[in-house]
């Protein structure tokens, strides 16, 4: 629906009729959407996300096509909750496939739902996703999610293929930390490097990366040297085989990285609280806060948070 005053005049300049609305698509269905920049307090930084807060009527095929049309790393679609313990169902699509969980999709979707809420400003939501119910809560304008318990697989054997997949030398890999798959809902390969320079010099060899990742979708490359001294980790994220050449912020994997760093005692102690800078090389700086801790001998608490800004509101007409 187009808003505005439309007036029709006769040959003498006399108004014949007026209207304030013209429906350009009378037989088509429109879906409201928002674009949110996540893991930043600045517009046009962080990781952009498209959110469709009322996706009733869309099937999987259409959601996949819409996600390709939006051409962002992820697009989310919100439905009424099918689990009585949840507030909403949320489905997440990359440009090429549906995924069970994502960090910036979770926080960005929650931010849109909070802004649209007709009740007093909510302080928390429970979002039902492919990994189950994910709790989200706010402290001021800072939003945090609780991620599933981390799962670890044995480290990969040390060879040159990982470095080759990144277009680097084997000497660029961290000398002590392992290359290892970790998941807090979205499995990824953790690849520690010795310094920030090689992280920023990564040039993917897709044929080799495909073999290294198989069957995973995402490589998370990081080091403990940072551009901003307020952060403790500098990271880049690559998922080219699901339509994401590079991701400005990857909250789901940031939580897994926190669990990895805690298990390997990178910062010492039984708990960890860090800031990860990501997206710097892309010109979309993001800051991801991660807290995790042991409960006995098991890493149980994984919390990932950040700020978000809504920057676009629109309608998709089908």
Active site residues: 74
Q: How far apart are CA 201 and CA 221, in angstroms?
A: 11
Burial 290-317 (b: 16+ CB within 10 A, else e): bbbbeeeeebebbbbbbbbbbeeeeeee
Q: Contacts by 176-181 with C-beta closer than 8 Å and gap 24+?
A: 177/264, 177/266, 178/264, 179/155, 180/152, 180/153, 180/154, 180/155, 180/156, 180/260, 181/152, 181/153, 181/156, 181/216
* Phi-psi region at 111: left, alpha or beta (left = phi > 0; alpha = psi -120 to 50): alpha
CB of 252 closer than 8 Å to CB of 259: no
CB of 50 closer than 8 Å to CB of 41: no
Counted residue by residue, the chain has a size of: 318
Q: How far apart are CA 160 and CA 172, in angstroms?
A: 11
């Amino acid at each position: 629906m187009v808003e505005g005053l439309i007036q029709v005049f006769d040959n003498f300049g006399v108004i014949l009729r007026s209207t304030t609305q013209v429906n350009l698509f009378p037989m088509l269905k429109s879906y409201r959407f928002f674009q949110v920049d996540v893991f930043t307090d600045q517009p046009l930084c962080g990781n952009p996300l498209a959110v469709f807060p009322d996706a009733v009527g869309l099937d999987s095929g259409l959601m996949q096509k819409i996600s390709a049309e939006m051409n962002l790393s992820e697009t989310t679609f919100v439905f009424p909750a099918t689990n009585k313990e949840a507030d909403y169902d949320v489905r997440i699509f990359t440009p090429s496939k549906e995924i069970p969980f994502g960090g910036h999709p979770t926080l960005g979707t929650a931010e849109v739902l909070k802004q649209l809420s007709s009740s007093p400003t909510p302080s928390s939501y429970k979002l039902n996703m492919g990994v189950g119910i994910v709790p989200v809560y706010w402290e001021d304008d800072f939003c945090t999610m609780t991620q599933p318990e981390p799962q670890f697989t044995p480290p990969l054997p040390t060879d040159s293929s990982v470095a080759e997949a990144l277009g680097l030398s084997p000497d660029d890999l961290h000398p002590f930390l392992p290359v290892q798959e970790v998941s807090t809902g979205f499995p990824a390969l953790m690849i520690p490097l010795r310094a920030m320079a090689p992280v920023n010099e990564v040039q993917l060899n897709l044929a080799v990366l495909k073999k290294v990742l198989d069957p995973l979708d995402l490589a998370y490359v990081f080091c403990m040297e940072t551009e901003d001294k307020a952060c403790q980790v500098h990271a880049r994220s690559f998922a080219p085989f699901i339509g994401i050449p590079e991701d400005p912020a990857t909250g789901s994997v940031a939580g897994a990285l926190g669990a990895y760093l805690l298990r390997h005692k990178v910062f010492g102690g039984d708990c960890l609280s860090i800031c990860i800078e990501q997206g710097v090389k892309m010109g979309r700086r993001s800051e991801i806060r991660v807290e995790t801790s042991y409960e006995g001998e098991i890493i149980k608490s994984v919390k990932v948070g950040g700020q978000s800004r809504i920057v676009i509101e629109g309608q998709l007409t089908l």
